[in-house]
Structure 1
Amino acid sequence: MRLNVNAHLDYGIDTPADLLVQIEAANLPGQSVIDPVFDPGETGHLHRIAAEDDIGTRVWLHCRQRLRCQYTATVEIDRAIPDLPSLQQDPVHTLPHEAVRYLMSSRFCPSDEFQSYAADTFGHLQGGAAIAAMSSWIQEKFIYTPGASSASTTAVDTFVQRRGICRDYAHVLVALARAAAIPARMVSCYGLNVTPPDFHATVEVWLDGGWHLVDPTGMCRPDEIAIIGVGRDAADIAFLTSYGWVNLISQGVSVTTA
C-alpha cells in the first residue's frame, strides 16, 4: 500500500527558540519513503540527528518569530499483518539489548503499578494472545475523547478515567504489556483513517524475536501505518519539542492512499 502524507506546523514564537521536530516518516524494513520534501520555513539553524533506536530522524531548528514547517512524502508500506494470538512470548532471559529497555517503567508508563491488574486479568494468556486481549479490552472499555487528557496524563490517569486519545490508549497498552514481561514501545506514525486526522500514536510489542505493530484504538492496521519514530513513551516521540515559548496557530495532517 502507498500512502500520501502531508503535514504542516504553524507556531508563533515569542522569543527566539530552539525546536526539535520529528515529523518525517522513517526508511526501515517494511516501509520506504518516496520523494520526501521537508520545508522548515525560515530558520537560523537546521541540523539532523538520529532518533531513538536509530529509527527516523529529528531536526534541530532555531526560529525567531514563526515556525512554518511543511512535510510531504509518499510512503510504500510492505508490512504483513501479524496473527497476534499465534506469536510466542520470548523468555525474559533471552531478550536482546534492543528489547530489554522496553521492559522497564517510564515516565508516562509506570508499568510496575499495573502488575497486579495484568496478572489478574490477563495472566491466563501468554504472548500475542495476551496482547490481543489487552488491546481489545482497551478498545471496549475506553472512550476516544479529544481534549480529555493533557501532556502530563499518564497511563495510570487514563486507566482510571477510561477516556483519552491515541497517545493515552498507547500508554495503557505499553504499561500492561511491560507488566506482563512483554517489551513494548510507543510508536509515532501517520495512519490511514485516523479520526480526527492528526499525528497518530500506536504500539510495537516484542514477540517471537521481533517487533510487531498493534493499534489499541483499532483505527489502523499495520499495513496502513507509516512509522515516524519509536521510544519509551510520548516523551521520546513528540513531533515538536520547544526550548522556548511557542503558540499554536495551526497544524494539520492528511493521509490518503496513493
Structure 2
Amino acid sequence: MLLENRTAIVYGGGGAVGGAVARAFAREGAQIFLAGRTRARLDAVAGGIRAAGGTAETATVDVLDEVATARHADTVVERTGRIDVTFNGFGADNGEQGVPLLELSADAYCRPVTEYVRAQFVTAAATAPHLTRQGSGTILALSNPMAGQPTALTGAFGQAGAAVESLARQLAAELGPHGVRVACLRPTGMPDTVDQGSHTREVWSRAAARLGTSLERLLAEVGSGSPLGRQLTAADVAEAAAFLASDRAGGLTGTVVNVSGGAVAD
C-alpha cells in the first residue's frame, strides 16, 4: 500500500473531492483525520472509511481560523506522534460565475481569492512546523482549471487558483531543505461533484441561470474537452493525490500536477 502507517489530515474532508481523497488515502493504508465545517458530512465519509476497514476520525475545523486549525494539528500529533500528509480540498460557495468580471464589486471579486489562499496558507502554517521537525512530509493543495486556462465568465476563481499554485511553489522552496514536499493538483470541472455534497451545485446553478441554460447542459460543457472522451471525476483526482502523497512521487515538489484529463493543456 502506498501510504501504509502514514497519518493524513484531509481538510474539506466532507466535500466531494476531499471525501474521495480521504477514501483513497485510507485504502492505501493511511490513518485519516477529517477536518471541515460540516460534521454530518465528515461523519458520513468517516463511516464509509471505517466500513471498508480503514481508520478515520473527524473534527469540526474552520480552516480560515488560524488558532482552531493549529490546535487541531497539535491534537493530531499528540494522538499519533506525527503528520505525514495533508491535503486541502477547501471549497466554498464564495464566488460568482456567469457574470462579466468587471461587473463584480471589488468585494465579490476578492472574496474567493482571499478565502482560497487563506485556507491553504492557514493549514500549511499549522502543519508545516510538525513536518519540518520530523524532517519529512507532503503538503498537497487543490487548484482549478482556470488557473492555467483563463475562461470568460468564471469570476475570480482563476486568480484564486493561480495564487494557490504560486503559494505551493514558494512553500516548496522554503520547506524543501527540511525534507518536506509541497505540490498542487489542478483538475478540470468534475460534474459528479454536484451530487456529492459540493458547493459546485450552487455555484454552477446560478451560472446556468445567468447564461440562460440548464444545469445539465452547463455540466456537460464543464466536463467536456478531454481527449480521453469522458468527464473527469473526483475519484480520478483522488488517485493522483494518493500517488503524489506517496514515496513513489518523492522527486516531485514545487510543481502543479495537471489532472484535467488533458482538457487543460500544459
Q: Please state which band the TM-score falls in when normalised by the shorter chain.
A: under 0.3
Higher relative contact order (CA 8 A, sep 6+): 1
Compare the two structures and name the one with the higher helix fraction: 2
Compare the two structures and name the one with the higher strand fraction: 1
